[in-house]
Chains A and B, each alone.
Chain A
């Protein structure tokens, strides 16, 4: 695998839910270190793109490669995704019956056969990174939404993925908790983590993105640097979307 190998490569990807086509000819290249932000109106297929990348959804046409491995649903390809791609969900999806620490060590211990001692050391490292080491022995239900989402980020980081996917990571949060989560993501971006972020937070997008992707009705309408995208959007649909989302 060469250094210039794309972290994620999507070529003409189509996907249907029943008769409804959610993705239409999606082409996307994410190089190592890239920070891609996907935005667009709800129902435009942006979450589905992210969910296809780590194969929580199967696509029907086209090719998706993760670190050069073609995703065909085979278990070898799935192993490649699970070891390279981390995911943060809108609804956090922490395991409510386990403590924060148990949430974090589960993957490393069960999927990577790491010893409890090593797994806990790694978990503490990432809890410190998201600035909540003191919450390690609480249950998720005892934490605020912002803290829960930071635990979820730490849980993903414990698998030491090469790419992080964020599916609207702040959409379920109260407004005062959004920045504490975004700050953590910005830090990760500054450290060079490859990431694909679906978000409506345009200020955040402007700050971290080096590639903006605008989707509407299952298509990628426009891509570009944040300067191009926010400064001089080419498509009318992008202009209309930005006008709506930025007018507040």
Chain B
């Protein structure tokens, strides 16, 4: 790891030598202080990943629960889905984050609960809620794309609603849902950067803190962007692998 970074640094540094507008030394892995800075920045990776994975997992379940009423024959039940999606989708992430982190504890307090929300869970709740409106729409479109006859046939062999979804509709819908769902996961990874403003020690927060002490925004934010890029490219590769795997046991 250090070797690869050193090589990259060598190439970069050789081009922008000693001129004092460049300060790549702050993240030069060949110097002791540069290496300490790099480790400090990369150590935020775990928090970003954990935040994104937990938020996405909640959103995947919540999104399905929101999507199902949207498929009902009854207008009143469908309305539940519509209202949720329209409202949640309309709230920008940052105000929602502030509302959850600073506002929600007051709501809890008024109910006699002394529930504190730390930056970690505040960010997760916000990301999951905000994302769930989008995953709900993805599920709804995916499920609706499965022909109505499939659910009808399932009913006529005695399957109930849950079994029809579990064994007949969802396995077919998953293949259509997966690519847009992966998109949403990448979206969550990127949006998790907002957690920095409520003090969550993830990638962006650490970069901000280092910029404050080192005064080298260009170099530090460049590395930050590279960190997100690597993360997203790894996810993309994983999704492509998953799609191939599912594709191969679908088509016979």
Contact = CB atoms under 8 A, between A and B. Distances in A.
A159 B158 contact: yes
Nearest to A161: B156
Given A89-B149, A111-B163, A56 B155 contact: yes
Nearest to B250: A97
Interface stretch (A21-29, A134-142, A225-233): A134-142
A138 to B, nearest CB: 7
Contacts of A110: 158-159, 163, 167
Interface string A144-177: 0000000010011011000000000000000000
Given A139-B252, A141-B252, A91 B156 contact: no
B152 A106 contact: no
A169 to B, nearest CB: 13
A238 interface: no
Contacts of B171: 97
A156 B252 contact: no
Contacts of B158: 82-83, 107, 110-112, 159
Contacts of A5: none
A138 B252 contact: yes
Interface in A21-79: 54, 56
A87 B154 CA distance: 10
A86 B156 contact: yes
Nearest to A104: B157
Nearest to A111: B158
A94 interface: yes
A209 interface: no
Contacts of B172: 95-97
B144 interface: no
Nearest to A75: B160
Interface string B159-188: 110010001100110000000000000000
B153 interface: yes
B245 to A, nearest CB: 14
A159 B157 contact: yes
A142 B153 contact: no
A85 interface: yes
A56 B152 contact: yes
B150 A107 contact: no
Interface in B115-164: 147, 149-150, 152-160, 163
A93 interface: yes
Nearest to A110: B163
Contacts of A54: 156
Nearest to B150: A93
Nearest to A58: B73
A164 B69 CA distance: 32
Interface of A: 54, 56, 82-83, 85-87, 89, 91, 93-97, 106-107, 110-112, 138-139, 141-142, 152, 155-156, 158-159
23 contacts: A54-B156, A82-B156, A85-B156, A86-B157, A87-B153, A89-B149, A89-B153, A91-B147, A91-B149, A93-B147, A93-B150, A94-B153, A95-B153, A107-B157, A107-B158, A110-B167, A111-B157, A139-B252, A141-B251, A142-B252, A155-B157, A156-B157, A159-B158
